[in-house]
Structure formats: C-alpha cells, structure tokens
Amino acid sequence: MRKILALAAIIILVGCATTPASDIAALEASLAAADTGALAYVNLPTCGTVGSGVACKTMATIKTIGLASQSAYMAVKAAEAAKDQTSVAKAQTAVAALQAIVTTVATGN
C-alpha cells in the first residue's frame, strides 16, 4: 500500500513539474500583461499639464519603464534561445522587476 501511495505521489509531482518551455510561455504572458500596464501609464497626460489629483506621467518614469521592459524582453528571448532554468530564472527576475515598477506607478506609490 505504501508503495502505491509513493508511486501516486511521484506521478502527481511529475505532472506538476514545470519545464523551461512552460515557464517561458508563462513569462511571455506575464511580460505582455506588464507591458499593457506600462502602456496605460505612458498614455496618461504629462504631469504639470493637468490639475492636482489627476493621474499623470513623468518622463523619468517612462524612461525607467522602457529600460525595464527592454531588459525583460531581452531576458525572455534569451531564455527562449537557451531553454534552460538558469536563463528562465534571470528572465523571471527581469519580468518581476518590470511588474513591480508598473504596479508602483499604477497604485500611485
């Protein structure tokens, strides 16, 4: 009975395991979502041209978002080419950094 339970647990764990390909697909989706949020920020009116309390953009933040987006994109493409977990981990870090920036500007923090 224990052997059957152990075998079932192994099968379940193997079924839940990720591969570089599945991780990269998830990264591409996360990057697309973060870029959508970044685009929403870029489309805001420029600060100083609208009244106080109105959401607006600054050129410094746009530059920061652009650099983070480019870095994340390049990391995801490198992970696609390498197809290894080290490259995937680097891409995950880059995408997470972009997501953090977009979240911060979206919440006004």
Q: For residue range 46-84, what is the model confidence (pLDDT) as tens digits?
A: 998 888 888 999 999 999 999 999 999 999 999 999 999
Q: For residue range 83-95, what is the model confidence (pLDDT) as tens digits?
A: 999 999 999 999 9
Alpha helices in 1-109, H assignment, sequence order: 2-16, 20-42, 59-82, 85-107
Question: From residue 50, how far is each of 45, 47, 65, 102 by CA, in Å?
Answer: 7, 6, 21, 21
The overall pTM is greater than 0.85: no
Cβ contacts of 86 within 8 Å, gap of 6 or more? none
Residue 94 main-chain phi, psi, to 5 deg = -65, -40
